[in-house]
Structure 1
Amino acid sequence: MPSTELPSSEILRHLVDVHCHPTDAPSISHASMEKLGITICAMSSKASDQLLVYNLAKSYPKKVIPCFGYHPWFSHLICLRGDVSKEDHYRELFYVSQSDEDLETLNTLLNILPAPIPLDDVIMELRQNFRDFPDAMLGEVGLDRAFRIPFDYDASPRKLTPFTVPINHQVAILQAQMDLAVELGRNISLHSVKAHQPTMELLARMEIQHGVDSWNRISLDLHSCGFSPEMLKDIQRRYPNAFLSLSTVINGRSPNHISLIKVCDPLRILVESDYNDVDMCTEQTWDMVRTVADVKGWPIETEWNEDNDHSPGRGTVRRLEENWLRFKAGHHSAKRKK
């Protein structure tokens, strides 16, 4: 569990939780937001929470950077064509064997799932949200080959079906969102689980399609990254706009995150909570700050000096703040490391 020993508010106000889901929890309140001492990047993931994130950012503009987008876990709820029926969409997406059990499961699911949203409507909504928030990011979006469709996402525990979303459908939904992000110059928080190869192929395609300059105008955060250290090094060598953020709640399950921190470019590491309880975001993010500091051998500030300190021995929070500002600004050099 994260340590509850937090630094002063003077230090915390320089800390950014680059990925969390505060609107997912019913516990979020005005009191919670008022006592929040860090900046958070609040993610949306499905149709019902785009407006929740929108309203949270409107209410707390100095604390919340809104992130709009559709997560791969909900990509099956989006159809690529507007003229397809609900039944045809899901039957085509969840192509199953002709066993009685599979057909029965699909028929049950058809009675539960809503009518799909046309992709054009999704992009139109994202475009408007980005217009309303000049600093908004695209997130959380991505690819996931491990997730199985539940009968009821909000149930506890979830009862899962045997169905997954075909990777080609996920890629189509993701690329349309990323195309808009590049067009509008918006940074991206990217999820990738058991989908390393299609993720790499998509990144290469995006760079070719949009051109190196447009692609490098935005920043890409590999959130709660589960790649191997070798793959991370390859991505950061190929893409100067690729950053890494890790969370205790996800990455702390495996010692792999220590190896990722070791090999990560010190100018491109960020921290996150990936938490859905805003009351815990600060603790969770600070726990990862401590981990990064320990692995990188960086000191942690005990007080804040407003003077510009660019010395090699500068503190972890200052380094992470500089990285965040670099991520936020975009416009990365196209020169690649050999």
Structure 2
Amino acid sequence: MRAQALTVMATRLQDQHLVVEAAERFPLDLAEIFEDSVSKKYVVPSFGWHPWFSHQMIDDRRNKGGTDAVQHYKSVLTPVCEDDDFLNSLPQPLSLSQYLRDTENRLRLFPHALVGEIGLDRAFRLPSNSAGDVPNGHSHDPDLEGEYTPGSREGRRLSPYRVSLQHQKAILQAQLELAGKLRRPVSIHSVHTHGHVFDVLQSLWKGYEKPSKRALKDSIIFTDALIAETPPSAAAPLPYPPRICLHSYTGPPDPLGQFLASTVPAELYFSFSVAINFSTPVNTKTEAVIRAIPDDRILIESDLHRAGQRMDDLLKEVIIKVCEIKGWTLEAGARQLKKNWLRFVFGADSD
């Protein structure tokens, strides 16, 4: 592996402890990570609950009495599931309150950890309940045997059931609020939900918006606007995350304006990967998006489940793609992308 540092993200119950173990094995050295040395490898941990598994979480923050598992799943799956075999195959739902407490403890254990991968997904369908549904009788590709953490799709066919957007939003907002409380950056997964993601974020930073350029020009409110623009203390909790990445962004250029508006108090970043954004030779939409994003708000990623040569190759390929689209030299582009990553993960102090 040639990459110096990896941002490794948890997505569900089974991999939270694996991210902890990776971060403990490859601890951060801030003095060295800001240099160009690659003598050591580092892991920046990230803890989150992915929308694909959001049905496994029961929102017990208000109702402490508990809910029957079957009733819970009937309330959060769409269409309403009446298949008893399928419902009984699903795991016992977990307490959102307990998960938030556990995640806060993990975040405090790692002061530079992120929150993610979290988000919304309108396309995902739950896998079926039987490995026998898998074509050819294989649970997944035999060449990948042993690579999957339990709890993944593992090659199973998809059921007709999705997680309701209302429930996904509740799980997302709870994690965003935790990130704001500890002032941690977040990585957001969004599939056909960019407007919904923005609505959730906007509801959290309401009242914290920066003054508009027009307001700043108004001499009557100029002094008040400057006061309002002053960021809160670095130690003070926020109701929203200070830095946000929309990972492997697949939306069109149009929504960028609202995410990057001068009044938005958080820093918004957009990451791109070969696996999602350049899976075909030509992707004019992604190219238009990359051209429209400010140079200091672009990130790159492998979006891969394992480190190694394949990951390095994918990172190199996406760097080349971004540099070509932006008109950067490879050296200048690599330096800009590293600077962006450092700023996203560590904040203004990394400049």
Give the partner amino acid of 1:255: T
Using the alignment, how far apart are the partners of 1:40 and 1:120 within structure 2? 29
Question: Are 2:279 and 1:274 aligned?
Answer: no
Q: Is the 8 A contact 2:48 2:116 kept in 1?
A: yes
Which one of the candidate residues 128, 150, 155 is aligned to 2:127? 150
Aligned to 1:46: 12
Report matched runs for 1:227-238 at 5 Å. Answer: 227-238=251-262
Could you state the TM-score of these two structures normalised by the residue count of structure 1? 0.77
Which one of the candidate residues 289, 304, 309 is aligned to 2:319? 289
Using the alignment, how far apart are the partners of 1:172 and 1:124 within structure 2? 16
Shift in CA distance, 244/51, structure 1 to aligned 2, threshold 3 Å:
same
Using the alignment, how far apart are the partners of 1:95 and 1:42 within structure 2? 31
Shift in CA distance, 119/154, structure 1 to aligned 2, threshold 3 Å:
closer
Aligned to 1:300: 330
* Residue-pair matches, total: 279
Shift in CA distance, 126/294, structure 1 to aligned 2, threshold 3 Å:
same
Aligned to 1:246: 272
Q: CA-atom RMSD, angstroms?
A: 2.1
Aligned to 1:322: 339
Question: Are 2:170 and 1:172 aligned?
Answer: yes
Give a deviation string over 1:29-74, Cα, whole Å, max 9, x none.
xxxxxx4432110011000100001101100114110000000000
Q: CA deviation at 1:193?
A: 0.4
Which one of the candidate residues 69, 92, 115 is aligned to 2:48? 69
Give the partner amino acid of 1:323: N
Q: Is the 8 A contact 1:246 1:288 kept in 2?
A: yes
SS at match of 1:190: strand
Aligned to 1:89: 72
SS at match of 1:278: coil
Give a deviation string over 1:299-331, Cα, whole Å, max 9, x none.
112xxxxxxxxxxxxx11111122122223436
Structure 1 unaligned blocks of 5 or more? 1-34, 302-314, 333-338
Report matched runs for 1:184-223 at 5 Å. Answer: 184-208=182-206, 213=231, 214=238, 218-223=242-247
SS at match of 1:90: helix
Give the partner amino acid of 2:111: P
Aligned to 1:138: 115
Give the partner amino acid of 1:326: R
Moved more, 136-145 or 205-214: 205-214
Using the alignment, how far apart are the partners of 1:95 and 1:292 within structure 2? 38
Shift in CA distance, 74/216, structure 1 to aligned 2, threshold 3 Å:
closer
Question: Are 2:87 and 1:110 aligned?
Answer: yes
Question: Are 2:257 and 1:259 aligned?
Answer: no
Q: CA deviation at 1:183?
A: 0.5
Give the partner amino acid of 1:243: Y
Give a deviation string over 1:151-182, Cα, whole Å, max 9, x none.
25645532211111110100000000000100
Percent identity of equivalent pairs: 32
Q: Is the 8 A contact 1:216 1:331 kept in 2?
A: no
Structure 2 unaligned blocks of 5 or more? 29-41, 130-150, 211-230, 232-237
Could you state the TM-score of these two structures normalised by the residue count of structure 2? 0.75
Give the partner amino acid of 1:324: W
Give the partner amino acid of 1:70: W
Moved more, 237-246 or 121-130: 237-246
SS at match of 1:189: strand
Shift in CA distance, 329/260, structure 1 to aligned 2, threshold 3 Å:
same
Higher RCO by CA contacts (8 Å cutoff, separation 6 or greater): 1
Q: Is the 8 A contact 1:45 1:71 kept in 2?
A: yes
Give the partner amino acid of 1:66: P
SS at match of 1:277: coil
SS at match of 1:84: coil
Q: CA deviation at 1:95?
A: 5.5
Using the alignment, how far apart are the partners of 2:78 and 2:191 within structure 1? 22
Q: Is the 8 A contact 1:112 1:151 kept in 2?
A: no
